[in-house]
Amino acid sequence: MIDGLIRGWIAIVALWVLPFLLLRYTSPGKYRSGTVYWAACLGIFAHHAFSVANYLFGPFFFTSLDPHMLNNLASTIADFPDAIAWSVGSQFYVKWLAIFYHLLGADTFVWDGPQMYVGQTLTVSVFLITTVVLLWFLEWLDVRNSLTVTCAVLAWALFPAELIYGSVTAREAFMTLALMLAVASFWWLFASNRLRFFWFGAFCLCVMGLFHQIMLIYALVATMAVGLLWLFQSQLLTARTKLLCLIAVFLAALLLFAGLLYLPVAQNEYYVDMLKGSWVDAIRVYRGWVNSAAPNTQYLLEGEFVGWFSAAGGLLLSYAFYLLGPFHGDLGSISTWVLLVQALVRWFGIPMMLILCARDKRCLLLGLIYFSLSFTWSVGTTNHGQAFRHHMMTDWLLILSTAVYFVRFKPFNFVRRE
């Protein structure tokens, strides 16, 4: 018991201190002090505070479903993590979280449900790394105004979805980090024409896909699309080199496709069925399964999924609800007003992203990633509460676009370059 207590407290102290050390020594040089640094510290402290509150007084409304359930499963098998096999989806997160708990000692503390706080603190550390990557993107896009960068960091850290799911035992922070690293790698692929960036980006997308099956499907399509786009636009590669790279792109896609078809799949995971049978049936079954829980924030209008044409119309309608909701008729409880606050990111960010994509081809990659990934999420999303959690993976793109827009076009006089 004593050894378990010692390991547990060492883990907590280390995970509390680690984010601040990473922020201090891995951020771009000019952001390692000053207002940007302290804004990021404030954001991390807020995440730690929410984590403590959720542990002592929760689970709260938004954390009582997936995060609480996944932690309970991991805690249950912490003594015997081999009780479940490696799989793609939520079971992957549960498996390695259980191993993490096991290494620390399943009886780390004497209080009930002790592992949850350690798992939440790990999520906070991962969220901090996403903040550092966001700062590097701001540096690459030449956002030098400290006020703009400070506001971007605070928005990323303190908006409801990021604060909640970046502080609890949820998969979203880990998938977001993998996505950001993949986009950063692809960014440098187009900038340097070095193939190793393609492979690292594909690897990060694969890691993202291990946490959720539809993300593995997305990784397959995105890897091929990015690889082909890079090949066709590159002016520095010879025809022979392009052919070799084309073979590499299809090889990576083939490996991903094989993983989709042959990796073990947990029960009630329907996304892979899109590749094995009728995608219309797979979507209808999954959305029906989600709706069976009768969520409080379910879309007021649902599309039909009985054939190709009706399914296409239903997906477009669902995508509109996913991007723009909640609407006036959806508002009622306090939780729906939280969703409305989060929607401000999209209402302001999407127009600015479109403007940037039209004027700067470097931002096209960010726009393509945002709209393709958000549409992929909308396929299986049937309510605003579920969308609230999924938006965390793409909100950083809108915050980044908004920051770049304010610096490039200076809509207000107080935004000036240093």
Residue 411 confidence (pLDDT): 61
Question: 39 lies in which domain range?
Answer: 2-409
Which is nearest to 71 in space by CA: 96, 53, 89, 88? Answer: 96
Residue 334 confidence (pLDDT): 67
416 falls within a domain: no
- Is residue 194 exposed (0-12), middle (13-18) or buried (19+ Cβ within 10 Å)? exposed
94 falls within a domain: yes
321 falls within a domain: yes
Which is nearest to 256 in space by CA: 218, 293, 311, 296? Answer: 218
CA distance linking residue 322 with residue 381, whole number of Å: 7
Provide the β-strand partners of residue 88.
265
95 falls within a domain: yes
Q: Hunting for tokens 């690889």 — which residue is that?
A: 227
Number of structural domains, the chain?
1
Q: What is the DSSP string of 217-253?
A: HHHHHHHHHHHHHHHHH-SSS-HHHHHHHHHHHHHHH
CB 404 within 8 A of CB 363: yes
Residue 136 confidence (pLDDT): 95
414 falls within a domain: no
Residue 110 confidence (pLDDT): 40
Cβ within 8 Å of residue 72, ≥6 positions away? 113
103 falls within a domain: yes
Say which DSSP state 32 is in.
S
Mean pLDDT, 10 residues at a time, the chain of 418 residues:
60 76 86 90 92 85 81 83 77 87 62 70 92 94 90 94 93 95 93 86 91 85 84 71 74 67 54 57 68 67 67 82 76 72 88 89 89 90 85 95 86 50
- For residue 59, cis peptide bond before it (omega within 30 degrees of 0): yes
Residue 261 confidence (pLDDT): 59
Residue 190 confidence (pLDDT): 87
418 falls within a domain: no
Residue 129 confidence (pLDDT): 93
CA distance linking residue 136 with residue 380, whole number of Å: 32
415 falls within a domain: no
Q: Hunting for tokens 């350690």 — which residue is that?
A: 118
